[in-house]
Chain A
Amino acid sequence: MRARAAGSTVRKDPIPRIKALVFPAALLPALYLWFATLTGNLGANPIEALIRGHGDWALRFLLLTLAITPLRRLSRWGGIMRFRRMLGLFAFFYATIHLLGYLVLDQFFAWGAIVEDIIERPFITVGMAACVLLVPLAITSTRKMQRRLGGRRWLRLHRLVYPAAALAVLHFYLMVKADTREPLIYAFLLAILLLMRLPPVAWAITRKP
């Protein structure tokens, strides 16, 4: 990223302007869900719809975040990397509300029931683990923390995003009663994004003329 700054010329950097559009766009699903809740348009079970809606978007933003590196290789546009942190933090944002929704709206702080859920219900165990894994990534997302940890250690820590994404998909899969189509679509997309990181695949993509 710094190398790019050195090479920049008088041309104005377009990325801040694009970011200024991506940011409100990424907030739209949340605004929609909250607005629909307040106006009573989220169906017969708004608590369930609100929690699931945020969970869906947490998963989508996780996959979008994981798509950045493969897209950079395919497009050879380094600038795309500068959206990764924002997308990752949105994944964290939606996951946090998803989790708070479960703790506050669904269980209303019934800690006994919550602990029992975590221990006894695999889909909750797995979902909780995914959320926990995202916390250090969000905390160390700032440039300052990046510098403090040092590039290598920071990179190694942020590989936690892979198990977090896998657990998030598994969480969805285990929750579904019979119709596994939707979680399997997420699993398929995640598999592609991970495959594209395998050294031979990554190399082939990058080398493409």
Chain B
Amino acid sequence: PDFPGLKQSRFSVDEPPTSWESVTTYNNFYEFGTGKEDPAENAHTLVTDPWSVTVEGEVEKPGSYTFEDLLKPHTLEERVYRMRCVEGWSMVIPWVGFPLANLIRRLGPTSRAKYVEFTTLHDPQQMPGQRRTVLDWPYVEALRIDEAMHPLTLMAVGLYGRELPNQNGAPLRLVVPWKYGFKSIKSIVRIRLTEKQPQNTWNEMAPHEYGFYANVNPAVSHPRWSQARERRIGEFLKRDTLPFNGYAEQVAHLYKGMDLERFY
């Protein structure tokens, strides 16, 4: 294993994980092609070492951090999370990572920091899918600061005890288990804290289909997919989708008083 002596997180779910094979060959990562098998085939061109992340906006310690510097102060742990794609399939994935909250605290958010925006690498040389404007590159995602600070929100650097394969968003990605998969942005090169709500790529591309919040919600259908049920990869019969992907107890309070049909 690349990370010896990993501790199991108390936030891990007790469900059988989806196979390594499926987790690493069935991916949505349009930077490497729009087919599910494309990322596994094409992502070898991504160079993850050296890697650095620019931190900017409403923080006390902005700057460019190397991947190693970013990681060093944090204790990694294993977290087995459910992952629900907006397309109606799901997996259970043993991530390796650390809480995003710890990183943000270290960077020192100012009082004006209301949102956290993440950006994926933009380099068509390394990411052949970016040679076509399928999406408005670079890929951008964002969270409200309280979502970002929530203990479930993870910065992942590995899965199954190994370093992240490129197709899964190496070397550094976000994992927000109660939101649809597209919020969990991959291969992050920039973190920006902002006062105003940032745009996110899918929301910009099709606002009536993908909202800013993108909380897993069986009661709100996508125009193309009912979200009431999902197919767990490896299973035949669909299962019911749970509100907030089964994490309602931990996160529902973040959205108290919000109309989740409007803020989908």
Residues of A within 8 A of B (CB): 43-45, 47-48, 105-108, 110, 113, 116-117, 120-123, 174-175, 177-179, 181
Chain A neighbourhood of B225, CB < 8 A: 121
Q: What residues on B are CB-neighbors of A123 within 8 Å?
A: 224
Q: Are B237 and A44 in contact (CB under 8 A)?
A: no
- Asked if residues A43 and B30 are in contact (CB atoms below 8 Å), the reply is no
Question: By the criterion CB–CB under 8 Å, are B226 and A45 in contact?
Answer: no
Closest-CB distance, B239 to chain A (whole angstroms): 12
**Also in contact, A43 and B26, with CB within 8 A (given A108-B238, A179-B134):** yes
Closest to A179 in B: B34
Picked from A43, A117, A175, the residue with its CB within 8 Å of the CB of B226 is: A117
For B221, the closest partner residue in chain A by CB is: A120
Q: Which residues of A contact B226 (CB under 8 A)?
A: 113, 116-117, 120-121
Which 3 A/B pairs are nearest by Cβ-Cβ distance?
A: A44-B26, A44-B22, A179-B34
Partner of A44, one of B132, B223, B233, B236: B233
Q: How many A-B residue pairs have CB under 8 A?
A: 56
Pairs across A and B, CB under 8 Å, 29 listed? A43-B25, A43-B36, A44-B22, A44-B26, A45-B36, A45-B233, A47-B231, A48-B89, A107-B238, A108-B236, A113-B226, A116-B226, A117-B226, A120-B221, A120-B226, A121-B223, A121-B224, A121-B225, A121-B226, A122-B223, A123-B224, A174-B224, A177-B34, A177-B224, A178-B134, A178-B135, A179-B30, A179-B132, A179-B134
A175-B36 contact in complex given A44-B25, A45-B89, C-beta closer than 8 Å: no
Docked Cα-Cα span, A117 to B224, in Å, equals 8
With A123-B224, A175-B224, A179-B134: A45-B26 Cβ-Cβ less than 8 Å: yes
In the complex, what distance in Å separates the CA atom of A122 from the CA atom of B208?
A: 15
Taking CB atoms and an 8 Å cut-off, the chain B residues in 13-48 that contact chain A are: 19, 21-22, 25-26, 30, 34, 36-37
B225-259 with Cβ < 8 A to chain A: 225-226, 228-229, 231, 233-234, 236-238
Which residues of A have CB within 8 Å of B233?
A: 44-45
Return the CB mask of B88-123 against A: 1 if under 8 Å, else 0: 010000000000000000000000000000000000
Question: A residues within 8 A CB of B36?
Answer: 43-45
Do B37 and A43 have beta carbons less than 8 Å apart? yes
If A45-B26, A120-B221 touch, whether A113 touches B231 (CB-CB below 8 Å) is no
List of B residues within 8 angstroms of A43 by Cβ = 25-26, 36-37
Q: Decide if B205 is an interface residue (CB 8 Å cutoff).
A: yes
- Known A-B contacts: A44-B21, A179-B134. Give 4 more (CB < 8 A): A44-B26, A44-B233, A47-B231, A177-B34
